[in-house]
């Protein structure tokens, strides 16, 4: 197998792993009476030792962080891994895994839009096209969820929460560039993750009773599987893929994500498929490809 083939295989496995997250969240919700912050706290707790084992060397090397560096890393960590995660987990209480993944997949266009507004990047026509396609795709796919839901309000609440998650992650992507240039991507990612883990645990302690941690073993199993197979392993698979084929091709392979989640939701969760969802997915993927071609081509 050539290096190029290895890269595409690694990128595909990473996309598959990230696509499993919503499936594990849905399975955990169905296995016990657990709320979003408690489930997220379990996921982060199980992820912490794995990230520390693999990434500790990154903390010992590189430039020493000053106060302003800590503030920047903390801000992007709170946006990218705390804010985005909690809104995502809350949204999954109301909408299908397939629609959730589809809405999250609009973040590349929002990242570029934020860079245009706040960082002085040039506005391209492809950005406008991407935003139109992604917005239309999400609206059409949402109609598919409405078709199978007893509560219109719940679906739109879920859509709004997951859209907020995508916007929060877009903020992380847009504003972490400054920190990455100074500290390196690996160190910034690890520190941002540590900040978010601390924030999630603090949120849990302040808002939820410790008795909420008493869950069926299946819930712990899903949380641990989410930490390993949908968080830690895909992060490092993606990093390895980028080394083999570059960020642009890795990102393009990532467009498989919504399709994989929809298929897994149908097979594992028995989520219904609709023409609206399939059509919306096609539009969102077209929008993402349009913006990625502009930013990486």
- The pLDDT tens digits of the residues spanning 58-93 come to 666 666 778 888 888 898 889 888 999 999 999 999
Share of the chain above pLDDT 90, in %: 31
Higher pLDDT, 122 or 101: 101
Q: What is the distance between the alpha carbons of residues 231 and 9, in angstroms, rounded to a whole number?
A: 18
What pLDDT score does 198 carry? 92
What pLDDT score does 168 carry? 92
Q: What is the distance between the alpha carbons of residues 237 and 169, in angstroms, rounded to a whole number?
A: 20
pLDDT digits (tens, 9 = 90+) for 188-211: 778 888 899 999 999 999 999 989
Task: Report the range of poorest mean pLDDT among 11-20, 85-94, 243-252.
Answer: 243-252
pLDDT digits (tens, 9 = 90+) for 102-140: 898 888 788 878 878 887 777 778 878 888 888 888 888
Among 90, 134, 94, smallest CA distance to 112 is for 134
For residues 247-263, average pLDDT: 78
Flag whether pLDDT at 294 surpasses 80: no
Higher pLDDT, 256 or 17: 17
For residues 253-265, average pLDDT: 84
What pLDDT score does 13 carry? 93
Delimit the domains of the chain by residue range.
Answer: 3-296
Which residue pairs from 236-244 have beta carbons closer than 8 angstroms and sit at least 24 positions apart in sequence?
Answer: 236/54, 237/10, 237/11, 237/13, 237/14, 237/17, 238/10, 238/11, 238/14, 239/186, 240/7, 240/10, 241/7, 241/8, 241/10, 241/11, 241/14, 243/7, 244/3, 244/4, 244/6, 244/7, 244/10
Q: What is the distance between the alpha carbons of residues 107 and 4, in angstroms, rounded to a whole number?
A: 27
Among 56, 59, 50, smallest CA distance to 232 is for 50
- Find all residues with CB under 8 Å of 23, minimum gap 6, and list them: 97, 261, 264, 265, 268, 269
pTM over cut 0.75: yes
Flag whether pLDDT at 150 surpasses 60: yes
Residue 74 falls in which region: left (phi positive, over 0), alpha (psi -120 to 50) or beta: alpha
Question: 297 pLDDT band (50/70/90 cuts)?
Answer: very low
Instruction: Decide: 87 and 165 in contact? Cβ < 8 Å.
Output: yes
Flag whether pLDDT at 252 surpasses 60: yes
Average pLDDT, the chain: 85
The top-scoring range by mean pLDDT among 37-46, 61-70, 182-191, 254-263 is 37-46
Flag whether pLDDT at 272 surpasses 70: yes
């Amino acid at each position: 197998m050539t290096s190029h083939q290895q890269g595409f295989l690694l990128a595909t496995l990473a996309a598959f792993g990230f696509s499993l997250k919503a499936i594990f969240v849905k399975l955990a919700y169905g296995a016990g009476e657990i709320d979003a912050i408690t489930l997220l706290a379990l996921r982060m707790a199980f992820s912490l030792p794995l990230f520390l084992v693999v990434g500790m060397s990154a903390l010992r090397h590189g430039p020493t962080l000053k106060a302003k560096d800590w503030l920047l890393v903390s801000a992007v960590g709170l946006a990218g891994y705390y804010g985005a995660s909690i809104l995502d987990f809350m949204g999954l209480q109301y909408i299908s895994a397939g629609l959730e993944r589809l809405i999250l997949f609009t973040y590349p266009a929002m990242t570029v839009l934020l860079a245009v507004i706040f960082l002085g990047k040039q506005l391209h026509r492809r950005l406008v096209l991407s935003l139109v396609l992604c917005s239309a795709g999400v609206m059409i796919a949402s109609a598919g969820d409405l078709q199978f839901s007893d509560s219109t309000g719940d679906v739109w609440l879920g859509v709004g929460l997951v859209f907020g998650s995508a916007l929060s992650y877009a903020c992380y992507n847009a504003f972490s560039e400054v920190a990455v240039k100074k500290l390196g991507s690996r160190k910034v990612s690890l520190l941002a993750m540590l900040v978010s883990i601390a924030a999630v645990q603090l949120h849990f302690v302040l808002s939820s009773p410790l008795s909420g941690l008493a869950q069926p073993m299946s819930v712990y199993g899903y949380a641990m599987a989410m930490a390993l197979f949908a968080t830690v392993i895909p992060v490092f698979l993606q990093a390895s893929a980028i080394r083999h084929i570059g960020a642009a091709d890795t990102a393009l392979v990532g467009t498989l994500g919504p399709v994989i989640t929809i298929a897994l939701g149908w097979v594992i969760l028995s989520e219904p498929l609709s023409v609206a969802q399939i059509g919306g997915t096609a539009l969102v993927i077209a929008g993402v490809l349009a913006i990625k071609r502009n930013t990486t081509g």
